[in-house]
Amino acid sequence: MARYLAYTNALLGHLYPTVPTLLELRRRGHTVVVATAGAAVGPLRELGLDAVPVDPRLEEIHSGDWQARTAMGAFKRDLRALVRRAQVEIPDLERALAEHRPDGLIVDVTAFGASAVAERSGLPWAHVVHFPIPVPSRDVPPYGLGLTPRADALGRVRDAVVRRTLLRPVERMVLAESNPVRADLGLPLLREPADVYATAPLVLYYSAEPFEYPRSDWPATVRRVGPGVWDPPHDADVSWLDDIDAPIVLVTCSSDFQNDGRLIQVALDALADEDVFVVATSAGVDPDGFTVPRNARLARYLPHGRILSRAAAVVCHAGMGIVQKALAGGVPVCAVPFGRDQFEVARRVAVAGAGVVLSARRLSTGRLRAAVLDTIRRAPAARRVADGYAAAGGASAAADAVERKVDVALRTAAGGGGGGAKPSDGPTARLSGGPSAL
């Protein structure tokens, strides 16, 4: 049996998709240590995982992207927060490696500093990606704007112009901020931002077709396993769900605050006179101050899994976690993106036919009411997405892929092949042949 160390960003939404994989590894008899947000340590320990908190300074670094006036301003805030976290993650993961001596690493791709340490460690390791993967492809449009895929000549011209005029400045900014971190660790500089996805011998991508766009040029390291669907333990009494006869509409905001509370109030008002029951969870938004009609219930957090088993539709900010959790249950989605990766997530909902997209700038009671009623009719497409997710294999497929990488490294080390180096072997220790050796 092997010993795994998982390291995630301090945001809970980054942890949750990984939990089913970690539990599956634990079920198979492996030791699993999880370094993550302090609030998750207790619940994870109750599940049998050896959870430890990341450096608390990481939980104090917030991008404040919602305060930016432009999309570029929000991106700059996010990037700066990423680099600030990286400076803390580097010594934090190095301490964890020295203490826990793992055989393999599983690292949140947004933990840029931790990823660099993993790359340098010489251990077999995997990136986990829980948002639309921004690896360029000849089959998909440039990442970030939520463009609809087009294979015709006009689409190719559009994509080329967007890459040249909009994305190149962003890419240069990413490299200028991230490469100094890699240089300080003695790692090769990235030529393109997407090259970070080639640094790990395995990339666990928590999505699958038909939600993700089909590609003919997937990197060999990427394993599409479908979403990691997990609800944290919750003591809320939701037995009242059994007394509701009307179709249930779940409305929810981002767990990482982005000032999207307007979505809840508009949804409550829009559906107040409809033959539905609204269950709203405000998550990162303070639930006080909302006006709640008789056909609704509001709380900061409720176990989404139980609600989704009864839901006819979900209205949300187009966060990857809630969107895929809904679609995995065959529940269509009304996606109202506010920023971040949400435009890409929302566009995938629309292209899959599994819901409706409504611009946050055009959000009104009338438009949202019509969008929700339309969304409910998209259940057959949502079920097709659910079937695709199930075929991808989920936590079992993810655990298989991780085990194979570690098994190869351990056998190589046992045979004297030089693989499986421990951190103490030196700061530049690498698996023989680099990532492709796994």
Give percent of the chain with pLDDT exceeding 90.
65
What's the one-letter identity of residue 98? A
**Averaged over 327-356, what is the pLDDT?**
95
What's the one-letter identity of residue 79? L
Structure confidence by residue, pLDDT tens digits, 160-174: 999 888 888 888 888
Does position 347 have pLDDT exceeding 70, yes or no? yes
Q: 238 pLDDT band (50/70/90 cuts)?
A: confident
As given in the structure block, the two tokens for residue 152 are 């015709």
Angle at 17 between CA 11 and CA 19, to 5 degrees: 95
Rounded Cα gap, residues 142 and 122, in angstroms: 33
Q: Between 286 and 224, whose confidence is greater?
A: 224
pLDDT for res 76: 76
pLDDT for res 438: 31
As given in the structure block, the two tokens for residue 24 are 């599956």
Least confident stretch, 80-84, 205-209, 365-369, 407-411: 407-411
Please choose, from the candidates 282, 248, 249, the residue with its C-alpha nearest in 3D space to the C-alpha of residue 265. 282
pLDDT for res 253: 87
Rounded Cα gap, residues 386 and 24, in angstroms: 20
Q: 379 pLDDT band (50/70/90 cuts)?
A: very high
pLDDT for res 201: 92
Q: 430 pLDDT band (50/70/90 cuts)?
A: very low
Distance (Å) of CA 32 to CA 58, 188, 399, 419: 22, 30, 12, 21
pLDDT for res 423: 39
pLDDT for res 67: 66
Residue with tokens 């203490």: 99
Structure confidence by residue, pLDDT tens digits, 289-323: 899 999 999 998 888 988 999 999 999 999 999 99
Alpha helices in 146-230 (DSSP H): 153-162, 168-184
Please choose, from the candidates 108, 96, 94, the residue with its C-alpha nearest in 3D space to the C-alpha of residue 21. 108
Which domains, and CATH codes, for the chain?
Answer: 3-226+393-416 (3.40.50.2000), 239-390 (3.40.50.2000)
Does position 132 have pLDDT exceeding 90, yes or no? yes
What's the one-letter identity of residue 310? R
Please choose, from the candidates 142, 89, 145, the residue with its C-alpha nearest in 3D space to the C-alpha of residue 112. 89
